[in-house]
Structure 1
Amino acid sequence: MMNIPLYSLRQEAWCDLKNVFRSLGFVIPVLAFPCAFYLFFGVTMGDPTTSSYLLINYIIFGVIGPALFNFGVNVATERENGLLTLKQLSPMPASQYLLGKTFTAIVFSSLIFVLLSCLAVVLAGVNMAFQQWMLLYFLAVFSTIPFCMLGLCMGLSFSAKTAPALVNLVYLPISMLSGLWLPIALFPEVLQLLAWLLPSYHLSQLGLSILSLHQGFELSWHVIGVMAFTLPCAWLATKKYNSLQ
């Protein structure tokens, strides 16, 4: 009996992953966009230091998309199609449904990390120690969690027709205002202060600290910033999920 939850979790994760990978219209853009941005800005227009800086930022940019879309859009679709209600009625714990989708987001984060890292090493001459690569990978995986929670809130709140537009409306501005495309120091002071409310800014600074390229604030403030965003989203998502029952 102890093996049943683990088995059902593996099945849920595998089924969700297969379902997402069948949608090439989702898979290709999610993997191609951060690579295309990095090729244009990080490879053709940058020295090794700039390329390293942009590598970290585009990894954070890349992992936001799968988390937001898999939860924000797919959960909204499954809720309207009745699949979410069916899962709620089944003996499977709600945590397994959420962990299955989180696993898919982590797989995409890992693929984006590998693709961008290969481009950085082969074409941009980026050179980091093994420990730095590992820290950056763990950060890429960790970065999926805040946006999984945000996407879940959106998927449980909006219709399947509305969710894609709203996810795009959040995805691009949150990336730009976090300094993932342009250094935050180039922004007006008001926008620099606004960035402190965004988890992507804090995640970027945590990543840049691996190469001592961050703004110099205490890293604990960035960890607090990520948690201050993630925990309320998780609480709201739990409340909305329970209200569906």
Structure 2
Amino acid sequence: MSITTVASQVNAPMPTSRVIHCYVTEAKYAFLRAIRNPGFSIPTLLFPLMFYLLVGFVFRAFQATDPNVSFFMFCGFATMAAMTPGMFGFGIGFALEREQGLFRYKRAVPMPPFAALLASVAMSVVSTAIAVTLMAGAALALGSVKLSILQVLTVVAVVSLGAIPFCSIGLWLGSICSGRAAPAITNVIYIVLIYFSGLFIPLPEGIRVVVLGSPAFYLDQLALASIGAQNFIVGSAVNHVVVLLGVTVLFLGLATRRLAREG
């Protein structure tokens, strides 16, 4: 076998089946790694359900006569479930990977260039789907929200895909923060986005306009529309989708530019 033949085999493109296998395998182990980490899995999968039940029983939200109140609370916690894995998985996890050199290592190993990124996004989407499904199961069992199976599937799909913009925000945070600073900064931004989106408590009239600056508001609006809530819908679904797509592209671009400087 000549040197030319060997070189051509080394430089030959990877078969499509192997590329797909790489993406699937990376996504599988990204999810298993996240689930086996109690510091990530418990807040991501169980906290939305726990807070939903706590607020529903303690503040008697489950006893509200207006069904839109129950929809409002359910979609608020579903939106929170979508924010958590992306912002913390990328915002903190990626910052630690950069600091420990794992990011450079992943770029050096012979794997598809976007496999690790897409695996983490898939992990966030699946984690959100599980968390919202648990919430929906509890809501249906308690009778706090009247939803059909189609409505449950729709809201789970909408909110799960809505986790992607928060993955891009988390990626940007992870690209600019050190591993030590990332938890504090991510938590502050997470709380600010939740509060100023009016997910759980309508903001005072004088500052209500600030909700338009929070991506969580637009995802919450899509979730409310998907289950048929009426009194809380602002604007059209198309506008909300466009804003979330814009947020995704913007922060993904900012993160890419920041990481390109690191070489």
TM-score (norm 2): 0.86
> Match of 2:158, SS?
helix
Of 219-228 and 61-70, the range deviating more from structure 2: 219-228
The AA in structure 1 aligned to 2:131 is I
SS at match of 2:114: helix
Tell me: CA distance 1:140–1:112, structure 2 relative to 1, closer, same or farther (3 Å): same
Name 1:58's counterpart in structure 2: 77
Deviations, residues 104-137 of structure 1 (Å, cap 9, x unaligned): 1112101111110011111143222333222201
2:16 aligned with 1:2: yes
State whether structure 2 residue 149 is matched by structure 1 residue 134.
no
SS in 1 for 2:213: coil
Residue 73 of structure 1 is matched in structure 2 by: 92
Please point out which of 207, 210, 223 is paired with 1:194. 210
**What's the CA shift for 1:28?**
1.2
Alignment of 1:1-245 (within 5 A): 1-43=15-57, 45-46=60-61, 47=64, 49=67, 50-183=69-202, 186-190=203-207, 192-210=208-226, 211-213=228-230, 214-245=232-263
- Tell me, what secondary structure is at the counterpart of 1:113? helix
**Kept in 2: contact 1:120–1:126 (CA 8 A):** yes
Mapped to 1, the partners of 2:29 and 2:45 lie a distance apart of: 20
Aligned residue pair count: 242
* Structure 1 residues not aligned, in runs of 5+: none
In structure 2, C-alpha distance between the alignment counterparts of 1:7 and 1:145, rounded to whole Å: 22
- Inter-partner Cα distance in structure 2 for 1:36 and 1:182: 18
**TM-superposition CA deviations, 1:38-85 (whole Å, max 9, x none):** 112235512371222211110001121111111111111111111110
Contact 2:193 2:214 in 1 (8 A): yes
Q: Distance in 2 between matches of 1:154 and 1:92?
A: 25
Q: Which of the two has higher C-alpha Rg?
A: 2
Contact 1:52–1:120 (CA<8 Å) still a contact in 2? no
Identity %: 27
Runs of 4+ in 1 over 4 A off after TM superposition: none
Q: Secondary structure at the match of 1:232?
A: helix
SS at match of 2:117: helix
Give the RMSD, CA atoms, in angstroms. Answer: 1.7
Instruction: Tell me the alpha carbon deviations over residues 154-207 of structure 1, each in whole angstroms, 9 at most, x when there is no partner.
Output: 111111111011110111121111111213xx42333x2111111100111111
CA distance in 1, matches of 2:117, 2:238: 28
Q: Partners in 1 of 2:148 and 2:31 — Cα distance?
A: 32
Where in structure 2 are there 5+ consecutive unaligned residues? 1-14
Task: Quickly say closer, same or farther: Cα 1:201–1:55, change in 2 above 3 A.
Answer: same
Shift of 1:244: 2.7
Q: Hey, what's the Cα distance between the residues in 2 that align with 1:238 and 1:133?
A: 35
SS at match of 1:18: helix
Residues in 1 aligned to 2:74 and 2:29: alpha-carbon distance in whole angstroms: 31
In structure 1, how many angstroms separate the alpha carbons of the residues matched to 2:224 and 2:243?
16
Give TM-score scaled by structure 1 length.
0.92
Give the conservation status (yes or no) of the 8 Å contact 1:63–1:109.
Answer: yes
Contact 2:129 2:159 in 1 (8 A): yes
Distance 2:187 2:179 in 1: 13
